[in-house]
Amino acid sequence: MNNSIRELTLLQPDDWHIHLRNGDALATTVPHAATSFNRVICMPNLVPPVKNADDARAYRERILHQLADSNISADRKATFDPRMTLYMTDHTSVQDIEIAAKSGIVQAVKLYPAGATTNSADGVTDILACADVFAAMEKYNLPLLLHGEVTHAHVDIFDREKRFLDEVLVQIIANFPILKIVLEHITTSDAADFVLAQGNQVAATITPQHMMLNRNHLLLGGIKPHLYCLPILKRETHQKALLNVATSGSSKFFLGTDSAPHATDKKEAACGCAGCYSSPTALPLYATAFDSIGKIDKLEGFTSRFGAEFYGLPVNTNTVTLINTPMQVPTHYPYFDGSTLTPLMAGETLPWSIKG
């Protein structure tokens, strides 16, 4: 821990990977996100998915309508900017890409291998058959966001990310060398090393859970359903590797919470949902992780600069201040239909909090 820094003012962060969901869920997720972040890249795996620019525009309007109805401050409302993504399917067309790129609201295209995670049944079944779409994305400078796992039933769940790198991603990069790619929520040292070995067109996001926790936290003493996410937590060696690259000052790694709301009763079920909810406490979580190895002075690049620079967007000018004063993560948040959301590290005390 860096005991010399007791207070840290950062440029307001952005979240380059978040799930806000849809419908009644937005009443909770939108104000939580807007309190912490300026821009958020909204995942498109709704039911039905966000498949084209018209879907994206309608979804963004629903988010902004909920923002207007929320009780957060006027200045946070004024700076919140949800950036949309398209959900790539086997039927995504070159025209879909062109229209999205010219829309002004679609920031990227998300590729889920079919069956990889929540609401991914409509995902791509043959990634290497998407060449014309990748070429269009390259042409219109629309980044590709990847859930980087293979989904073959015979591949061990702990090996799926590395297999994706070796079998799929190397081919995409070889065939489309200037396509901007974000390997999202990386979980292994293999992924970190892979990203470092590529050119500036390849970057990665890292979640708080993957740099703070490992599979022992998930499994020892009984399964912890609120730590279950996809890609799944890996060994401690991978956790430490992610923390090291996140705090290294490399601009190839930036904040993406992958905050994913699931009602508590759906997580604590016989077949619990995959996803950790971290949006409202993300900044103290990341600060705690960085400070755990004395690198909190590297936090602003990761949270507030590198993502914007990768996407070619201006860095924010407003600020937020973190203070080295403990806070307790709430045990739950109210959710819709009388349910609750249990956040990542619920009930635990973090050494950093947001001032004011």
- Residue numbers belonging to the annotated binding site for Zn(2+): 17, 19, 110, 147, 185, 258
> Please, which residues have CB within 8 angstroms of residue 62's CB and are 6 or more apart in sequence?
22, 26
**Residue positions in the annotated binding site for substrate?**
19-21, 45, 147, 230, 262, 274
For residues 110 and 86, the answer to whether their CB atoms sit within 8 Å is yes
**Residue positions in the annotated binding site?**
17, 19-21, 45, 110, 147, 185, 230, 258, 262, 274
For residues 193 and 224, the answer to whether their CB atoms sit within 8 Å is no
DSSP 100-138: HHTSSSEEEEEE-BTTSSTT-TTSBS-GGG-HHHHHHHH
For residues 254 and 222, the answer to whether their CB atoms sit within 8 Å is no
| Cα distance from N-terminal residue to C-terminal residue, the chain | 23
Q: Which of 14, 55, 96, 258 is catalytic?
A: 258
Instruction: Assess whether 258 carries a catalytic annotation.
Output: yes
Torsion of CA 42, 144, 201, 19, to 10 degrees: 20
CA pair distance 22, 174, nearest whole angstrom: 36
**Total residue count of the chain as it appears in this document:** 356
In a 3-state reduction of DSSP, which class is residue 339?
A: coil
Residues classed as catalytic: 258
